[in-house]
Amino acid sequence: MKKLLFAALAATALTAQTAAPKPAVPVKLMRLDCGTVAANDLDQFSDTRAYVGQSKRLTASCYLIKHGDAYMLWDTGLPAAMKGKPIDPKAPMDATVTATLVEQLAAVGIKPEQISMIGISHYHFDHIGQAAAFPGATLLIGKGDFDALKAGEPGTSKVPLAPWIDGTAKSVPVSGDKDVFGDGSVTMLDLPGHTPGHHGLLVHLAGMGNVLLSGDVAHFRENYDSDGVPGFNTNRADSIAAIERFKGLAKNLKATVIIQHDPRDIAKLPAFPNWAD
């Protein structure tokens, strides 16, 4: 009896080893320009007064992910109404938009109704500004952020995400990490601290390998390198833990790190309208 059992197990193992692997669903990643931010008072990004008297131009980045025939947006940038807005050099922080998401998608032949999912790193206005252009998409957002939006907590606005907050459109509040497509290719990473439900995104590409999109775990390289915490983060201890986890993932996965607000990281991905794959 034992011999028969061992023989059956051996045959099963051999079949598993020799069977053709299931073909992976092709995944591609494209960076979209979602605006420019003038941080005229850069010290807002430090609760230790690290950047007194400094300023920096930052970028607002969004990302298009193609998983087989499905399209997902990661973040939706500054509001479309800011298109062409002059930047006020005297404001502590100001922003403008050159081209809307819908315009950029049209340039690559994609209609708003083809976007099936929107993943949101967090509830700040420069990451949710153009979400309403895709009311048919399912919204993926950290549960902590979703709850804060529903409660109307300070620093939140329901308006850009109104169809999902009021239940008109489908939403998926995400607790912890989430394997978006169920195959390990795209994972929302639980990185709270900047906001209660803040997430980053891990994308695995066949050619380029692992790519880590930061959300706002850090806003620029100096901030990232020094584990800097902006004074407006909702939880300092969680922020430090999140950036520690993010750096650990980057090291262990040998990932390309894209700090979404740092213009110097844009060149790590092909220029629009080209795909990374």
Hey, where are the domains in the chain?
25-268
Supply the pLDDT for residue 141. Answer: 98
pTM score: 0.91
275, burial (CB in 10 Å: exposed 0-12, middle 13-18, buried 19+): middle
State residue 24's pLDDT score: 81
pLDDT at 20: 35
pLDDT in tens, the chain (277 residues): 333 333 333 333 333 332 333 448 999 999 999 999 999 999 999 999 999 999 999 999 999 999 999 999 999 999 999 999 999 999 999 999 999 999 999 999 999 999 999 999 999 999 999 999 999 999 999 999 999 999 999 999 999 999 999 999 999 999 999 999 999 999 999 999 999 999 999 999 999 999 999 999 999 999 999 999 999 999 999 999 999 999 999 999 999 999 999 999 999 999 999 999 9
Whether residue 38 contacts residue 95, with contact meaning beta carbons closer than 8 Å, is answered with yes
End-to-end CA distance of the chain: 51
pLDDT of residue 164: 98
Q: Please say whether the beta carbons of 190 and 176 come within 8 A.
A: yes
In this structure, which CATH number among 3.30.930.10, 3.40.50.150, 3.40.50.300, 3.60.15.10 belongs to the domain 25-268? Answer: 3.60.15.10
Supply the pLDDT for residue 206.
Answer: 97
What's the alpha-carbon Rg for the chain, to the nearest Å?
A: 21
Q: Are 83 and 98 in contact (CB under 8 A)?
A: yes
Contact (CB, 8 A) for 49 and 98: no
